[in-house]
Structure 1
Amino acid sequence: MEFSIQSSSPEKQRNVCIIAGVFESRCLSPVANQLDKISDGYISVLIHRGELEGKVGQTLLLQHVPNMSSVRILLIGCGKEYEFDERQYKRVIKKVVNKLNDTGSTEAVCFLTELPVKGHNTYWKVRQAVEASQDALYIFDRLKSKVPELYRPLRKMIFNVHEPQELTSGNNAIQHGLAISSGIKTSKDLSNMPPNICNASYLSTQVRELVDSYRKTTKIQIIGEKEMQKLGMHAYLAVGRASTNESLMSIIQYQGDPDIEAQPIVLVGKGLTFDSGGISIKSSDSMDEMKYDMCGAATVYGVMRVAMELHLPLNIIGVLAGCENMINGHGLRPGDILTTLSGQTVEILNTDAEGRLVLCDVLTYVERFSPKLVIDVATLTGACVIALGHHLTGLISNDNSLAHELLRAATQAGDRAWHLPIDDEFQEQLDSNFADMTNLGGRPGGTITAGCFLSRFTHKYPWAHLDIAGTAWRSGKDKGATGRPVAMLSQFLLNRSGLSNDK
C-alpha cells in the first residue's frame, strides 16, 4: 500500500474517504466536529440518534454527506478521550484499515494522526500508523493453491498533519515505518514457512538473496558442519546431529559506518527450524508450532533488512544459527557432557534445552569480531510464557546501560520488554557434579537460569538476551508469526544512529 503525508483541511478532500474519530460518549473529535459544521449538523444528528457511541473499534461509514466533495466519511470509535493511548491508537488504525479494505475504499485521508496520544509526537503517530496498517493487511498465502482476490482493495493512505512544519518528520516516519514493516513482513514470512521447506539451508539461501540486493555494503559467510567441527563448536553440532539436514550458521556483515574500523553491533538469532525436543521429546499437542523455534533467526534477518533499506550508519553483523533438533541413534542424550567452543563443559540434563547449546557456541564465535555489543534473540524458554505471558519479551543483560537502551527502544516501538535479573543465586542452579555446568537449572526461574547459562559465554563484551518464546507467534485460530521484536531492535538501531525523531 502507498502512504503519503499532507497538511490540509477536511473540506478540501475530494474523491477519497475521510477518516475521523469519535470519542465516548458521542463526543466528536476536532476534525469530526469540522465535518459536522460543513454538513450542517448531519453527523451530530446521526451520532445523537445512536448510530455510533464512540466505543473503541465501532465504525460508521457515511456516503453522500451534505456539502462534502469526498466520496465517503468513516467515523471510528476511539473510546474515552482521557484513556486514548498508544495501544488504543494502533487498535483503531488496524480497525480502520480492515474496514476500508473490505468496503471498496481505494484511497483514504486519515485525520487520526492529529489526535493527541499521550507522550508521543507526530513522527510516532505516523510511523505507528504505517506499521499498524501493514500488519493489519498481512496474510501468508504463498502455499495455498487458491488465493481469493479483493475487489477494490485499499491502495493509498494519506496521513494529515495539523502543521505544515510537521511534513518533514511525517515523511521520515513513513520511510522508517515502511522499512520496519518490510522487515517485520520478511520475518513473518520466514517464520511461517513449514519445516520441510525452511531448514538451515533455506535460511542460508534467503541470506544470499538478501545480500545480493545490497552488495556494496554487505557480505556473507556460511559456516557448515565441517568447519564447525574444526573450530570446536561441539555444543552446536550436538544439537543437530540427529537431523538429516545440515546445521549451517549464516553470517551477514553490513558495513554502514564510514569508519570501517568501527566496532560492529552483533545480532545473534536462534534458528531451530524444527524442535522435536530430542530424546526429551515434546508432547504431540501443538508440536506443529515448533517450526517457530527459528523466530530469533527470522528476527535478525528482518532487522538486517531494515538496516540495509535505511542505510543506517552502523556496522552490524547478523548471525542466523540454523539447526534442527530431531531424534535418532546419533542424537544427544541426557547425561552426555559436551565441550563448548569456549572450552567450558556442559552436562546435558534435558535435550529439549537445546537452544542455549547452539547459542553458547555462537556467542563465543562472535568474539572474533571485537563487537561493541551483542544481542541474542531466541524462543528460548516456555518459562518466559508463564512469567510474562504473550505480551512482554524477557530481557536479560550483563550491562545495565544496554538493558536500559533496549527497554527505551521497546517502549518507543510499542514492542514491550521486561528486565529480569541474573543474580548469583540463579547461577547456582546450574551447578553440576560432573561438568562446569548443566544445561538446565530446574523449573524455578527457568527463563533466568537460561539467561545465566548464556551469560557465562559473554564475559568479553556487553550483552543482552531477548527471550521471545511468548511474543514471537500466536497460537489458536490466529496462529502465525508476529514479527516481534523486529520493531524493538530496529528502534534500538535508529536510536544508535541518531535518526529517530521520536520523543
Structure 2
Amino acid sequence: MEIKVASRPLLKRRGNVPCGGETLIKFSGKFLETRTDGKTIPGTLFLGLGSEKELTLDKIRQAMGKAATTIREAGGTKIAAPLLETKFPSDKGGKGGVSVSDIAQAMVEGVILALYQFNLYKTDPDLDKNEIKELTLLVTDRSKKASVLKGALHGQWIANAVNSARTLCNLPGNVLTPSRMEQEALRLRKEYPISVSVLERSDAEALGMGAYCGVARGTAEPPKFIILEYKGGKGKPIALIGKSVTFDSGGISLKPAENMEQMKYDMSGGAAVLGAMKVAAQMKLPLHIVGILPATDNMPGGKAMHPGDIVKTLSGKTVEVINTDAEGRLCLADAITYSLRYKPYAIIDLATLTGACVVALGQHAIALFGNNAKLIEAISLASEKTGEKVWPMPVWDEYYSQIKSDVADLKNTGGRPAGSITAALFLKQFVTDVPWVHLDIAGVAWNGDKPRPYTPKGSTGAGVRLLVQYLIDLAGK
C-alpha cells in the first residue's frame, strides 16, 4: 500500500459536523459508527470517534480499521482521511504525550492491520481483487507535514511487521518448522544490520541445554536455537526472548484433539521478537538488542521426553518433568540462561505459555510479570500507547512451594491453582538479578472469535507493537 501525505482540506465544516453544501449529514458520531451519503457528498464515509474526552490512540486505530474494511467491502481502492488534531485527556501516550506523528502512526496502523488477510492457500483468483492500494493523510497545517510523514512511515513499518508475524503464526506446522524460523531470521540478516547465529541440536547438547533439548527429543524436525543481534548502539543489550515452539502437540502428555490445529501459533513469541528487531533496524534505533528463539516442535515420538523424567538445564538446575505439555518454560529456561552471557541490561520474554492466563484474563490482556518496578512501568507505558493491554501479576515467593520437587530442584508444573503465576515463578529461577519481564500472551495471540476492528481472525501478531514502543521509548526517539 502506498502512503501519502497531502496539504489540503477534505470537507467544509459546520461546527464539528462535516457538511456538503447546506445539507447536514444525519450522523451522531458515536464510536465506530459509519455513514455514507452518495447524493450530497459522493465517495465519502463518515466515521464516528465518540466523545473527545474519551478518545485514545487505540480508538483511532480501531476506527481507521473499521473504515478501511468498510471501504474495501464497498469496492473502494483508495482512502483519503483528514489527520485528527485534538487533545487526548484519557491517553497518557508514553512519556512525551501525543503528537501529530503519533496520530498519523495510529491511523496508518489501523488501516494496514485491519486489511490483513491470510489467503496464501486459497485458490480463488478474485480474493484479492478489491484491495486498498493507497492511503492519503490530509493535513491543513503544512508545517506539520514532515512530522505526519514520519509517523505514517513508522506506522507502516510497524503494521507490516505485525502482519508478517501474523503470517508466520498462521502458517501450518508442516510449513513453519524450526528450519523455516531459521530462514526467516537469515532473511533479516540479508536486509538489515542484524547478525544471526544458530545452534544445532548437537551444539545445544554440548552446551548442556538439557531442558530445551529434552523438549526437542520427540520431533523429527531439527531444532534450531536462533540468536539474532542488532548493534545500533553501545553498552549492555536488551535481551528479547520469544517462545518458538512451531507446533505443540503436548508431547507424551498429549493435548485434546479439539483445537489442536491452532497450536501452530505456539511460536508467537518468537515471531514477535523477529518483527520487533526488524522495526528496530528500520528505525535505526541506537540500541543494542539480542533476540533469542529456541525453536523446536513438541511431539510424542519414540525418543520423546516422559512425564517423570529429570533434565539438567543450562544453568545447572535440575527439573522434574511432571507434564510434557509444560514445555515452553523448559525452552525459555535455557534461553534465559544463555542470554546472561551477553550481560543484558534487561530481559523481556514473550510466550503463549499457559492456558491459566486465558482463564484469568481472557482474550484482551497480556499477563505481565517481572522483578523490576522500573521495567514493569516502562512496559506499562508502552502498553497504554499501543493498546496492547497488560495486567500486572504477582510472582511472590509464597507460590514457590508449588514448583518445588521432591526429587529435583524444580518441577515444571505447579498444579492447577495460579498456573500462570507458577509458570512465571519457574522462569524467575533462571533470571538471577537482571531486570526481567515475562509477558504471557496466551490469551491475546490468537483471535478465534469474530474479527475485531483491526484484528482479523487467526493470529494477532501480539507483542510486536508493544516491544517496538518500549524500544522507541528506551531510545528516546
Q: TM-score range by the shorter chain?
A: over 0.9
Task: From the superposition, tell whether residues 83 and 370 of structure 1 become closer, same or farther in structure 2 (CA, over 3 Å).
Answer: closer
Offset at residue 112 of structure 1 (A): 5.6
Offset at residue 370 of structure 1 (A): 1.5
Offset at residue 256 of structure 1 (A): 1.0
Aligned residue for 1:353, secondary structure, equals coil
For 1:144 and 1:356, locate their aligned partners in 2 and report how far apart those are by CA, in whole Å: 35
Q: What is the identity, as a one-letter code, of the residue corresponding to 1:192?
A: N
89, 97, 101: which one aligns with 2:68: 97
Residue 123 of structure 2: aligned partner: 145
For 2:292 and 2:116, locate their aligned partners in 1 and report how far apart those are by CA, in whole Å: 26
**Equivalent pairs, count:** 465
Identity across the alignment (%): 36
Residue 407 of structure 2: aligned partner: 434
Deviations 1:297-330 (A, max 9, x none): 1111111111121111111111111011111231
Residue 133 of structure 1: aligned partner: 111
Aligned residue for 1:63, secondary structure, equals coil
For 1:209 and 1:87, locate their aligned partners in 2 and report how far apart those are by CA, in whole Å: 31
Residue 350 of structure 1: aligned partner: 323
Asked if structure 2 preserves the Cα contact closer than 8 Å seen for 1:114 and 1:162, the reply is: no
Asked if structure 2 preserves the Cα contact closer than 8 Å seen for 1:224 and 1:248, the reply is: yes
Aligned residue for 2:266, secondary structure, equals helix
Would you say 1:232 and 2:214 are equivalent positions? no
Q: Comparing 455-464 with 228-237, which one deviates more in the overlay?
A: 455-464
Deviations 1:34-59 (A, max 9, x none): x34xx0x21x2x41xxxx44443332
Asked if structure 2 preserves the Cα contact closer than 8 Å seen for 1:122 and 1:161, the reply is: no
Gaps of 5+ in 2: 92-97, 452-456
Task: From the superposition, tell whether residues 441 and 289 of structure 1 become closer, same or farther in structure 2 (CA, over 3 Å).
Answer: same
Q: What is the identity, as a one-letter code, of the residue corresponding to 2:119?
A: D
Asked if structure 1 preserves the Cα contact closer than 8 Å seen for 2:226 and 2:292, the reply is: yes
175, 188, 192: which one aligns with 2:166: 188
Q: Comparing 382-391 with 460-469, which one deviates more in the overlay?
A: 460-469
Asked if structure 2 preserves the Cα contact closer than 8 Å seen for 1:108 and 1:158, the reply is: yes
224, 229, 236: which one aligns with 1:253: 229
Q: What is the identity, as a one-letter code, of the residue corresponding to 1:285?
A: E
For 1:388 and 1:307, locate their aligned partners in 2 and report how far apart those are by CA, in whole Å: 29
Asked if structure 1 preserves the Cα contact closer than 8 Å seen for 2:83 and 2:104, the reply is: no
Would you say 1:9 and 2:30 are equivalent positions? no
Offset at residue 79 of structure 1 (A): 3.6
Aligned residue for 2:324, secondary structure, equals coil
Residue 286 of structure 1: aligned partner: 259
Asked if structure 2 preserves the Cα contact closer than 8 Å seen for 1:235 and 1:361, the reply is: yes
Would you say 1:418 and 2:391 are equivalent positions? yes
Offset at residue 351 of structure 1 (A): 1.0
Residue 47 of structure 2: aligned partner: 76
Q: Which has the larger radius of gyration?
A: 1
Q: What is the identity, as a one-letter code, of the residue corresponding to 2:208?
A: G
Task: From the superposition, tell whether residues 324 and 29 of structure 1 become closer, same or farther in structure 2 (CA, over 3 Å).
Answer: farther
Offset at residue 407 of structure 1 (A): 0.8
Would you say 1:60 and 2:10 are equivalent positions? no
Residue 169 of structure 1: aligned partner: 147
Task: From the superposition, tell whether residues 115 and 147 of structure 1 become closer, same or farther in structure 2 (CA, over 3 Å).
Answer: farther
Asked if structure 1 preserves the Cα contact closer than 8 Å seen for 2:57 and 2:385, the reply is: no
Query: What TM-score results when the alignment is normalised by the length of structure 2?
Result: 0.92
Residue 320 of structure 1: aligned partner: 293
Task: From the superposition, tell whether residues 29 and 229 of structure 1 become closer, same or farther in structure 2 (CA, over 3 Å).
Answer: farther
Greater RCO, CA 8 A, separation 6+: 2
Asked if structure 1 preserves the Cα contact closer than 8 Å seen for 2:58 and 2:385, the reply is: no
Deviations 1:384-425 (A, max 9, x none): 111111111111112111111111111111111111111110
Residue 158 of structure 1: aligned partner: 136
For 1:490 and 1:306, locate their aligned partners in 2 and report how far apart those are by CA, in whole Å: 7
Offset at residue 226 of structure 1 (A): 0.4
Would you say 1:205 and 2:183 are equivalent positions? yes
For 1:107 and 1:3, locate their aligned partners in 2 and report how far apart those are by CA, in whole Å: 10
Offset at residue 192 of structure 1 (A): 0.6
Q: What is the identity, as a one-letter code, of the residue corresponding to 1:279?
A: I
Aligned residue for 1:319, secondary structure, equals strand
Q: Comparing 221-230 with 104-113, which one deviates more in the overlay?
A: 104-113
For 1:111 and 1:475, locate their aligned partners in 2 and report how far apart those are by CA, in whole Å: 33
Deviations 1:366-392 (A, max 9, x none): 111111111111100001111111111
Q: What is the identity, as a one-letter code, of the residue corresponding to 1:178?
A: Q
Query: What TM-score results when the alignment is normalised by the length of structure 1?
Result: 0.88
Would you say 1:466 and 2:439 are equivalent positions? yes
289, 296, 302: which one aligns with 1:329: 302
Asked if structure 2 preserves the Cα contact closer than 8 Å seen for 1:211 and 1:218, the reply is: yes
Following TM superposition, where does structure 1 have runs of at least 4 consecutive aligned residues deviating by more than 6 angstroms?
none
Would you say 1:385 and 2:358 are equivalent positions? yes
Aligned residue for 1:78, secondary structure, equals coil
Q: What is the identity, as a one-letter code, of the residue corresponding to 2:202?
A: K
For 1:490 and 1:29, locate their aligned partners in 2 and report how far apart those are by CA, in whole Å: 38
Q: Comparing 315-324 with 102-111, which one deviates more in the overlay?
A: 102-111
Asked if structure 2 preserves the Cα contact closer than 8 Å seen for 1:113 and 1:160, the reply is: no
Q: What is the identity, as a one-letter code, of the residue corresponding to 2:40?
A: V
Asked if structure 1 preserves the Cα contact closer than 8 Å seen for 2:217 and 2:304, the reply is: yes
Residue 269 of structure 1: aligned partner: 242
- Describe how 1:30-41 pairs up with structure 2 within 5 A: 30=16, 32-33=17-18, 35-36=19-20, 39=21, 41=22
For 2:280 and 2:412, locate their aligned partners in 1 and report how far apart those are by CA, in whole Å: 34
Task: From the superposition, tell whether residues 337 and 131 of structure 1 become closer, same or farther in structure 2 (CA, over 3 Å).
Answer: same
Q: What is the identity, as a one-letter code, of the residue corresponding to 2:37?
A: L
Task: From the superposition, tell whether residues 212 and 454 of structure 1 become closer, same or farther in structure 2 (CA, over 3 Å).
Answer: same
For 1:458 and 1:149, locate their aligned partners in 2 and report how far apart those are by CA, in whole Å: 47
Aligned residue for 2:154, secondary structure, equals helix
Aligned residue for 2:225, secondary structure, equals strand
